[in-house]
Amino acid sequence: MSEVTNDVILEALKGVNDPISGKDVVSAGVIQGLQTLDGNVAFAIEVPAEKGAEMEPLRKQAEDTVFALPGVVSATVVLTAERAPSAAPAAPQSGQQTKPGAPVSPQGQGDLLPGVKSIIAVASGKGGVGKSTTAVNLALGLAAGGRKVGLLDADIYGPSMPRMMGISGKPNSADGKTLDPMENYGIKVMSMGFMVDEETPMIWRGPMVQSALEQMMRDVNWGELDVLVVDMPPGTGDAQLTMAQRVPLAGAVIVSTPQDIALLDARKGLNMFRKVDVPVFGIIENMSYFLCPDNGKRYDIFGHGGAKKEAERMGVDFLGEVPIEIEIRERSDAGTPITAANPDSPAAKNYQAIADAVWAKIEQGQASDSLAPRIVIQ
């Protein structure tokens, strides 16, 4: 099978006319975020927000044109719009076509994650606080209790789960419609990092991020899971809103360092989940302190206790603290998370205690749901 390139795709798209400008879509400059990998093609067409619905034929024509090219196994095209300040957000129009054997599936119907009992989001207000490391070790701590656990890397722009979980390669598709998640340490994992090269930037607008995130939930054979841990991107953007609006989150866990500036952003993340009615299980203080291996002296590099005080101030639980340890960093980089590789270490025990506290919160929520009154119509 010949390899399709961006140049070949753009040349083919010159045969698709933009009805607004009268030019072809390439000359009109409306093609955005073109990505090609192993015959899987995805891009967006930028259209005026008020014309989103009527531009669906253009989207379909562009998708059909690319899908017909030799070497293309799947084509995903979405419409994206620059929203006017006073305009309501336009619902993204998206679609997908898949040839037999292609590792991407068409749009599905029904629940996104029908076999998953509980979904929790691991979030932070800013990057660099150890959120992904916490998500990995939290998932492993939950699995240590004999639970079926999945791990979804929702950080489309900066996926890190493949490296942290020690997984390489690409997901299989037995039926040519859905993907089988990758697996290691007994955890099912899905990440955009499995679809693109590690050094390839994802230059995508919000609607494409939303579409990709929904596909990693809907079009993946997650099977029956007790809990799905979602590693959210930092901040309060499209991915967070997609998760809050499209799936029933059991709760969110906020990760922060003790540093004041990190806590300020963590507060924003916590308040965002509250605004969309997602329970906040609590705050974890990462990089809480450092014990010098040479003399055993403790150093509070980023301060200490700030996350606990913030949890008390915000009226949520303090789930625990994790110190700065070289072993945590080394094992994360090597794809051998400390909770799996050295479960008897102090740091692993900290993660396990946090996982136990989170599971207690999940069970508490499930018990509350079962006790809620139901209206029966006969």
| Half-sphere exposure in the Cβ direction for 183 (13 Å, CA) | 15
Mean pLDDT of the region 10-24: 94
pLDDT band at 109 (very low <50, low <70, confident <90, very high): very low
Task: Determine the straight-line distance between the first and last CA of the chain, rounded to whole angstroms.
Answer: 59
Residues 6+ apart with CB under 8 A from 311: 282, 283, 317, 318
Per-residue model confidence (pLDDT) at position 337: 96
Per-residue model confidence (pLDDT) at position 87: 38
pLDDT band at 367 (very low <50, low <70, confident <90, very high): low
The percentage of residues in the chain with a pLDDT greater than 70, rounded to a whole number, is 85
* 304 or 52: which leads in pLDDT: 304
Provide, for the chain, the percentages of residues in helix, strand and coil under a 3-state DSSP scheme, each rounded to the nearest 5.
Answer: 35, 20, 45
pLDDT digits (tens, 9 = 90+) for 339-352: 999 999 999 999 99
Query: If DSSP codes are grouped into helix, strand and coil, which group holds residue 181?
Result: coil
Contact of 17 with 24, CB cutoff 8 Å: yes
Q: For residues 215 and 191, what is the distance between their CA atoms, to the nearest angstrom?
A: 11
Task: Give exposure, 234-252, as e/b (b: 16+ Cβ within 10 Å).
Answer: bbbebbbebbbebbebbbb
pTM of the model: 0.71
Answer whether residue 70 shows pLDDT above 50.
yes
pLDDT band at 334 (very low <50, low <70, confident <90, very high): very high
Q: Measuring CA to CA, which residue among 124, 143, 192, 206 is closest to residue 163?
A: 192
State the DSSP code for 179: B
What the block records as the tokens of 160 is 């890190």
pLDDT digits (tens, 9 = 90+) for 283-303: 999 999 898 888 888 898 888
DSSP string, 241-303: HHHHHHS---EEEEEE-SSHHHHHHHHHHHHHHHHTT--EEEEEEEEEEEE-TTT--EE-BTB
Answer whether residue 338 shows pLDDT above 60.
yes
Per-residue model confidence (pLDDT) at position 95: 47
Backbone φ and ψ for 33, nearest 5 degrees, come out as 60, 40
pLDDT band at 108 (very low <50, low <70, confident <90, very high): very low
Per-residue model confidence (pLDDT) at position 376: 43
Helix intervals (H) in the chain: 6-13, 56-67, 131-143, 161-164, 206-218, 238-246, 260-275, 306-314, 326-334, 338-341, 346-371
Per-residue model confidence (pLDDT) at position 225: 96
Sketch out the chain's domains with CATH numbers. Answer: 6-98 (3.30.300.130), 119-371 (3.40.50.300)
Per-residue model confidence (pLDDT) at position 141: 96
Mean pLDDT of the region 254-276: 86
Q: For residues 247 and 227, what is the distance between their CA atoms, to the nearest angstrom?
A: 13
pLDDT digits (tens, 9 = 90+) for 141-186: 999 989 999 999 988 888 999 999 999 988 888 776 788 999 999 9
Residues 6+ apart with CB under 8 A from 264: 125
Mean pLDDT of the region 211-233: 89
